[in-house]
């Protein structure tokens, strides 16, 4: 929601953080890309478990991470298409701030978000799903 008021490159809190840590850019967009891996991972995990698509935990984790990376890649394509349509104002929209590896680092953060989600929330998510299955039975 904050990104809706400001462009990614101008979120005040991250301007302050950038100044404090002497970063060259405002990294607000990086938080968004981490979340772009974290949230879809949880949703995909729930769907795969509830629908019993894959029973092997390793394959399920692989498919979840792959789905998150595909979603992230699609988002990057949307950003690219928007940049082509917008033209000169694309730098404000994209928030690259002159960073040549922006797309790759965004996808790496989505990957990290998916992996963190799978590691950090596995036990609590399994418990919630077990409670849900008991209420349905």
How many alpha carbons fall within 13 Å on the CB side of residue 14?
Answer: 18
Do residues 95 and 9 touch, judged by C-beta distance below 8 A? yes
| pLDDT given for residue 134 in this prediction | 75
| pLDDT given for residue 109 in this prediction | 94
> Model's pTM, two decimal places?
0.78
| pLDDT given for residue 30 in this prediction | 82
Closest CA to 26 of 94, 92, 97, 79: 97
86: which 2 tokens?
């917008």
| pLDDT given for residue 137 in this prediction | 52
DSSP secondary structure of 13-51: HHHHHHHHTT-SS--HHHHHHHHHHHHHHHHHHHHHHHT
Do residues 43 and 63 touch, judged by C-beta distance below 8 A? no
Q: How far is CA 94 from CA 98, 99, 121, in A?
A: 10, 11, 30
DSSP 11: -
Whole-angstrom distance between the N-terminal and C-terminal Cα of the chain? 39
Residue ranges in the chain modelled with pLDDT below 50: none
């Amino acid at each position: 929601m904050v990104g809706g008021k400001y462009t990614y490159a101008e979120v005040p809190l991250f301007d302050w953080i950038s100044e404090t840590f002497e970063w060259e850019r405002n990294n607000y967009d990086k938080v968004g890309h981490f979340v772009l891996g974290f949230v879809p991972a949880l949703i995909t995990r729930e769907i795969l478990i509830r629908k019993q698509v894959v029973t092997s935990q390793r394959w399920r984790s692989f498919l979840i991470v792959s789905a998150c990376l595909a979603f992230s890649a699609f988002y990057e394509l949307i950003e690219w298409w928007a940049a082509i349509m917008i033209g000169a104002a694309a730098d404000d929209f994209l928030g690259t701030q002159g960073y040549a590896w922006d797309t790759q680092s965004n996808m790496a953060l989505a990957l990290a978000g998916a992996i963190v989600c799978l590691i950090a929330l596995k036990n609590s998510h399994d418990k919630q799903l077990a409670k849900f299955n008991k209420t349905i039975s």
